[in-house]
Amino acid sequence: MMLKALLFPAMLTALSPAPPPLTPPEGNVSEAREPSADTEALPIGETSTCSGVLVQGGLIICHGRAGTRFRLGETELMAGASASVAFGLGRKADPTISIQVIPPQGIAPDILTFDIAPRQDETAILRGIDCDKIDARTEAQKAHAGRSWVKKQDGWQNFNEGRGGLDGFLRPAEGPVSSPFGYIRKYVTEGCPTKERPHFGYDIAAPTGAPIIAPAAGIVTLAEPDLYYEGGTVFLDHGHGLVSLFLHMSALDVAVGDVLEAGDPIGKVGATGRVTGAHLHWAVKWRDTSRADRDRDFYIDPALLLDLPRATAP
């Protein structure tokens, strides 16, 4: 079996017919073997491949014949009909990770090793935020938050295998980034407990009513207009364990069970839920599909998914 390990073009200089030795910044290259000029010519079914955005909060996508198993730590994923699996990289992922590749034909396993670049997340102190926007306080607010929590848990119960490999994500709304993923927010308001939380989304500043589109194909698993913290919310399951969350929406144009293609309308930007102004909070959660419990699920950086190459135009 032949294995290849490479980074997406967003992370490395594009490969040429006779590339020089590669020395990517910050060590973002597999230590297993360097890419070569003929790597893209190797067809799926003849090789197993792993590539991705090798940064904390990024994503690694592996391809192989149906039945090939890919193991990262305690997570083992098997390539099914789509011939691909995806591993999320946490905000504090180890600086070096190894993926064991176990082919279905009884060939000896192999291991790919990758260096993962560290994040450089900043901390901001936010003063004077309304206490009710930091945490539910009254009994009515707590009851609303509790009902919202149950609805969100219901939205996490179903899984979409995905119809094919992941071929990149579109930006779901137009506008400047108002708060990046990983930003550490420290809320300091007189009369309220001090809270410090990382920001697990990618906020796009846009006016109420601005359109929101699907960044990739998927199935709607939750569509709720009034969650306590999140306001109008949609979950879109892209398969491969990846789910996009769209928060604070003023209008929802989809319902649970809808099947969307990349670029399809989802709804409108708003200022619902716990916000200080209109914007879209786009988050992406990676779920460990090898386990029934959700304890090892975590959010990854949506901005890094925009670096994945698209196989076809939307």
Instruction: Give residue-wise pLDDT tens across range 76-112.
Output: 999 887 788 999 999 999 999 999 999 887 677 889 9
Provide the 8-state DSSP code for 132: H
When mean pLDDT is compared across 15-29, 36-50, 153-167, the lowest value belongs to: 15-29
> What pLDDT shows up at residue 215?
96
> What pLDDT shows up at residue 217?
92
Half-sphere exposure of 22 (CA within 13 A, CB side): 25
Q: How crowded is residue 37: how many other Cβ atoms within 10 Å of its Cβ?
A: 11
* pLDDT of residue 7 exceeding 50: no
Q: What is the largest CA-CA distance in the chain?
A: 67
> What pLDDT shows up at residue 165?
62
For residue 128, name the pLDDT band (cuts at 50, 70, 90).
Answer: low
Mean confidence (pLDDT) of the chain: 79
Mean pLDDT in residue range 287-307: 91
Angle, CA 289 vertex, CA 283 and CA 291 arms, to 5°: 120
pLDDT: is 126 or 147 the higher one? 147
CA distances 216 to 69, 73, 237, Å, are 25, 28, 9
Domains by residue range for the chain, with CATH = 2-115 (no CATH), 123-305 (2.70.70.10)
| Identity of the amino acid at 277 | G
> What pLDDT shows up at residue 298?
95
> What pLDDT shows up at residue 154?
87
* pLDDT of residue 134 exceeding 50: yes
When mean pLDDT is compared across 99-108, 170-179, 275-284, the lowest value belongs to: 99-108
pLDDT: is 196 or 275 the higher one? 275
Whether the CB-CB separation of 250 and 236 falls below 8 Å is answered with: no
> What pLDDT shows up at residue 132?
65
For residue 33, name the pLDDT band (cuts at 50, 70, 90).
Answer: very low
CA distances 279 to 102, 134, 252, Å, are 44, 17, 15
> What pLDDT shows up at residue 131?
67
* pLDDT of residue 222 exceeding 60: yes
